Amino acid sequence: MNFSELKLTRPLLKAVEEQGYKTPSPIQAKAIPPVLAGHDLLGCAQTGTGKTAAFALPILQRLAASHPSHKGVRALILTPTRELALQIDECFANYGRYLNVSHCVVFGGVGQQPQVDALRRGADVLTACPGRLNDLIGQGHVDLSRLEIFVLDEADRMLDMGFVNDVKKVIRHLPAQRQNLLFSATMPKEIEQLANSILKKPVTVKVDPVSSTVDRIQQSLYFVNKPDKKRLLARLLADPSVTSALVFSRTKHGANAIATFLNKQGIGAAAIHGNKSQSARVAALDSFKAGKIRALVATDIAARGIDINELSHVFNFDLPEVPETYVHRIGRTGRAGAEGVAISFCSPEEKEYLAGIEKLNRKKIPVLELPDLGERPEPVVLVQPAPRPERRKAKPEPQAEQPKTEQKQAVKAPEKQQEVSNVEEKNTQAGQPLSASAKRRRRRRRAAGKAAEAAAQEAAKREERGERSERNERNERSDRSDRPAEKQPAKQAASGREKAQSGRGQQKNAARPEQKQTQRNTGRGQQKPARAEKQPRQAAPVKDEDPGLLLISRKPPAQKFASFEEYMKSHGGFSEPIEGEAEE
């Protein structure tokens, strides 16, 4: 069978012939007729068998048959990765070069303005990644209301848990009447059930068993410890028969480390993964396809749909955790009927992944003998270099400061440090320079001495402030208790006591507070004679002071008087001499 028997138009046949295709692959022969007839399709074929041409050729022919007046998107192809989107758009450009069908590609990681400009010019075929497409739909740059054909490429990956929500968002913007096509290399039963919920009476095409590997790919396996994998990879890449190699790593950091190691060994390599910018990823792929570098290290982002012509070897540096991913990895070689080699490295902790891969393929992978890798380089241990003797001689310590420093340390340092300082002093006096460790010890002793001295000064200040505050409190108490007695002269206090003892009735009651206060002051003065010296200075009483005011200013007596005359009569009348003055 040839392509002319598939009822393709002459412009498509001419473009296919220019691409070097002579006979269609099994998936192309079985999928193109039902797609041309307008049926929904569920296609499952192994990687590298031409699934892209199986839906690109009939879509181009159907779109070229009619030319509607609107400029909206007529066919939408969703892909999981940017690299696969670029490859599909390139296939539409090659197959439709003689047709009046426009095409465009959109994906994230780059500026959206050039993509928006291309959409405004009009695109019949739009190849997109779900994330950027949802953004452009939300901004109003993409109209899918008149879509005719909807394609999910790598359907198992797109409908997996990581992409199912994005796909459902896109489907909500699609018209109900449309043609649906799903293509993938692997089709688990649960993914097939989910795909059937989108398709309407699909035609199922399964060319090979699910997740089968290409028979022309020579598979082999090395059991190697994880630290020896890089040296084994460099040893195998040194073989001239390895013209180009695609190395798969499980992690992004591991891909960078492998590429760096290979470049140090003189093997040109580059890494591509999700953390790389789109321009860096495209540049690395172009350099690898052009033969500028021999090895391309990638994560599983490059395992799906990347078509690299004449790829000789695929290396699984890390075995994949999902067995189906192994099929996509090794499918990068042996494409379009060519032969290829797939070599895997298995460490002891990856034997569980190996069992899953062999169970899926239903055969054992041949194990090769590990070549001699030489002795493993010992890990570099950073050792702090010892101090140089020239530097110790170049910076001798001044001897004039030594006695003062040692004298301070002898008072404040512990006994052990004192002994060390004595030894150092003897060495210094003998003309021997101090070592670096001795200088450090001396600096530590100086710092400790200064800290101890500062702490002692602070403690002394605190004690002095405490004694001063206690002294002030005692003075205040004595001041409050002695204040009435200081306003009365000594002779007035003596005469007051005599009158208090001789008086009767009201005179005795009136003099009682004065007597108690005088006795309290006298008793305190006898117990603590030194306190009288510490009392603050008080103002001397004025000689012309009115004695009546002086009496009133004292503590109120127990007996109250109605007037000043009554009070004076109780004290002997106005004829009595004034207290505190001697009779002339």
Q: What does the domain layout of the chain look like in residue ranges? A: 3-206, 217-361
Can you read off the two tokens belonging to residue 69?
């007046």
pLDDT in tens, the chain (584 residues): 788 888 899 999 999 999 888 888 888 999 999 999 999 998 887 666 788 899 999 999 999 998 887 778 999 999 888 888 988 999 999 999 999 999 999 998 888 999 999 999 989 999 999 989 999 999 999 999 999 999 998 877 776 657 778 888 999 999 989 999 988 777 777 677 777 778 888 998 887 654 455 667 899 999 999 999 999 999 999 998 899 999 999 999 999 999 999 999 999 999 988 788 878 888 888 898 888 999 999 988 655 556 676 788 999 999 998 887 888 788 778 765 567 899 999 999 999 999 999 988 888 999 999 888 776 665 544 445 555 555 554 445 554 444 444 444 444 445 555 555 665 666 555 556 677 788 888 888 888 888 988 998 888 888 888 877 777 777 777 666 655 544 444 445 445 554 444 544 444 444 454 444 445 544 444 444 445 444 555 544 544 555 555 555 555 555 667 777 777 777 776 655 555 444 44
Provide the CB-side half-sphere exposure for 319 (13 A, CA).
25
Q: What is the dihedral of CA 272, 273, 276, 279, to 10 degrees?
A: 50
- The CATH fold assigned to 3-206 is Rossmann fold (3.40.50)
Residue type, 335: R
Domains 3-206 and 217-361 belong to one CATH topology: yes
Angle at which helices 10-18 and 82-95 cross, to 10°: 120
Strand ranges of the sheet holding 313-316, from the earlier edge strand across to the other edge: 217-223, 340-346, 313-316, 245-248, 295-298, 269-272
pTM for this entry? 0.55
CATH architecture for segment(s) 217-361: 3-Layer(aba) Sandwich (3.40)
Strand 203-206, strand 217-223: pairing: unpaired
Q: Secondary structure of 69-130 in the HEC alphabet?
A: CCCCCCEEEECCCHHHHHHHHHHHHHHCCCCCCCEEEECCCCCCHHHHHHHHHCCCEEEECH
